[in-house]
Homo-oligomer: A and B are copies of this chain.
Amino acid sequence: MLSCVNGAFSERWYQVAVTNGKQADRLEAEWGDIITPDKMADALKAKSYEAVTIVHNETSTGVENPLKELAAVVHDVSPNTLILVDAVSSMGGVKIETDAWGVDFILTSSQKCFAMPPGMSFAAVSDRALERAEKVENRGWYFDLLRLEKHRIKNSTPMTPTMSLIWALDVQLDKMLAEGLDNRFARHQAMAERVQSWAVEHGMEPLAPQGYRSKTVSTIKNLRGVDIAALNKFLLTKGMRLSNGYGDLKNKTFRIAHMGETKMHHVDELLEAFEAFMENM
């Protein structure tokens, strides 16, 4: 398989492949850059792969990889290659056209744009991925897609599921549908634009290139040399906090999440407090 790696979570997916004994090559870009469709095309022309793994929204760098274009290249250059997508921090906040783009497997978790407690994962699987799964030996029990599908069809689960989160999901899906998906996606985009333009106005800039900036989490270069620990200490007095940069990006960047049930007035409140902190730096 071919693992696209341009951040902490795509690196993790590569590790998942390797620790499961799969032969995996890395298609890399710098942290903060995207995986380009051209690079993907070159890699697929050079070697045959059963599957590619793509992290749609890199929570570590605030980069949204161009999933639609990457999927189109895979279908064009290597139509038998399965397209596996981690949409943990984007699904539910950003429009993803699973069928139209021809995604074979896409997963997310409950605690990001679904705004629920963590502890549950959701996935969509294509028919051809299920057919391919039949030929996989030693699929295991817990993560066997065919076993899960068999039970899904009869509205069941193979093992006792996390019931309290399923009830919470029922409530949250109603809320999401009441807001309307297009409204939800527009809200995420508006919050992203607000944070990212605010950063530029205050002498900083997003790590991701224009056009590929995440709508759910902004990773901002810390060009003003803000003491992130001190900032968080100040923010916590007001019941807020933001995330430091991930791994090597710690202190060089910081991250502002704007996803799930976060609304524009929350973003405004955070940015006002951030400004107040910088005025006293």
Contacts and interface: CB of A to CB of B under 8 A. Distances in A.
B19 A164 contact: no
Interface stretch (A90-98, A155-163, A214-222): A155-163
Nearest to A144: B19
A162 B118 contact: yes
Interface stretch (A39-47, A78-86, A133-141, A239-247): A133-141
A158 B11 CA distance: 14
Contact of A118 (B21, B109, B144, B160): B160
A277 to B, nearest CB: 28
A148 to B, nearest CB: 13
Contacts of A143: 142
A19 B109 CA distance: 26
B111 A141 contact: no
A145 interface: no
A163 B19 contact: no
A165 interface: yes
A203 interface: no
B137 A21 contact: yes
Nearest to A138: B21
Contacts of A12: 141
A119 interface: yes
B21 A141 contact: no
A15 interface: yes
Contact of A141 (B19, B119, B141): B19
Contacts of A21: 137-138
Contacts of A141: 12, 15-16, 19-20
Nearest to A112: B160
A225 interface: no
7 contacts: A12-B141, A16-B140, A16-B142, A20-B138, A20-B141, A142-B143, A162-B162
Interface of A: 12, 15-16, 19-21, 109, 111, 117-120, 137-144, 160-165
Which 10 pairs of residues, A with B, have the shortest CB-CB distance? A119-B162, A21-B138, A117-B164, A16-B141, A118-B160, A19-B141, A20-B140, A119-B119, A19-B140, A118-B163
